[in-house]
Amino acid sequence: MPGFELGEEYRDLVEMVRDFADQVVAPVAARHDAEHSFPYDVVRQMGELGLFGLPFPEEWGGQGGDFFALALALEQLGRVDQSVAITLEAAVCLGAMPLYRFGSQEQKERWLPQLVSGQALAGFGLTEPGAGTDAGATRTTARLEDGQWVINGTKEFITNSGTDITELVTVTAVTGTATAADGSTRKEISTFLVPAGTPGFRAERAYDKVGWRASDTHPLTLAGVRVPEGNLLGERGRGYANFLATLDEGRIAIAALATGAAQGCVDEAVRYAKTRTAFGAAIGTYQGIQFRIARMQVRAHTARLAYYAAAERMLAGRPFKTEAAMAKLVAGEAAMDNARDATQVFGGYGFINETAVARHYRDSKILEIGEGTTEVQLMLIARGLGL
């Protein structure tokens, strides 16, 4: 159970991942960012460390930990490279976790061990050109024909969908209409497991992104894709509800990643302020710089407390939707604000892409957009207040 003081196992995990991030991830981060290249060797080593299996039971090859352990790992990775952190977050929260939560025994036996070990990745195909925040506007369709689901549609901004080790993508699709108690109708949305390499399923050219440039992100085309009837994930018509539950958990993970980014900006700014001199003294001796960095630390600390609190409620089995929304909102804004301030501390050097603060400046904006925009978080918080 998380708390304000971490237990020994959590502390050991944090130390292990921090060392890995500093010694393995950070030295190659600038190169992968500049080349827009996926860090296969780093991902392989994360798998060997067991990071992909942190919240999964040992029976599936996992570490037998919990979701908070994953969040702690994401914070440490997010300090030095958000692309690597989001690769892990998406692989676990959006890739393997839906399969673990809603999959059949047969589906789990076929795919889960590979995903939990990090030997394979999975994506979650939700967003479409006209259905982002309004996921209920999904236009991709799936119809049952001769024991197979025939899927047609397009998806946008799908992480881990086109790597050499991508095993499958879970796709949301409209399978009919459902009638509510008041007589109104709505789309019946279901989810399907679509293996990579299925005829008609294609990952299009990767995006040229502002940030997260070493993360794998593609638009997807599904043209007459046929998968077995048994590839339905969970109950028919429960795809939208299951997706919402997946995002609630994922927001805690994203908040942890964003907290790491915010803290990484603090660490870089402190280091630079101690070594950069101006007017005969280290710039860290000037109160203007001190106060700027102090505010940065307050933001990172507040973001950490927010995601700790949300994770604690989740693991205790208590409602946590509002707390997860607050954590993502606070942490995402902390990362963006700290990236801006760290860049200001660095001056001209903060405008050079190879520096960590420049990468954080480019990377952090998506933390206010992906897996629920700032506006969506505010809407959820307002609903939690009964408004």
Active site residues: 371
Alpha helices in 135-175 (DSSP H): none
* Other residues' Cβ atoms within 10 Å of the Cβ of residue 131: 18
* Other residues' Cβ atoms within 10 Å of the Cβ of residue 285: 14
DSSP type of residue 176:
E
Q: What single string gives the DSSP state of each residue in 244-276? A: HHHHHHHHHHHHHHHHHHHHHHHHHHHHHHHH-
- CA distances from residue 66 to 8, 62, 97 in whole angstroms, order as listed: 15, 10, 12
Spatial separation of the C-alpha atoms in residues 203 and 215, rounded to whole Å: 14
Query: 199: closest CA among 175, 225, 166?
Result: 225
Rg (CA), the chain: 21
Q: Please say whether the beta carbons of 60 and 108 come within 8 A.
A: yes
Contacts of 164 (CB under 8 A, 6+ apart): 40
* Other residues' Cβ atoms within 10 Å of the Cβ of residue 29: 21
Spatial separation of the C-alpha atoms in residues 65 and 194, rounded to whole Å: 28
DSSP type of residue 219:
E
Spatial separation of the C-alpha atoms in residues 297 and 266, rounded to whole Å: 6
- CA distances from residue 44 to 17, 50, 59, 113, 171 in whole angstroms, order as listed: 14, 10, 21, 15, 25
Spatial separation of the C-alpha atoms in residues 339 and 267, rounded to whole Å: 11
Element (H, E) at 224: strand 217-228
How many Cα neighbours within 13 Å face the side chain of 170? Answer: 32
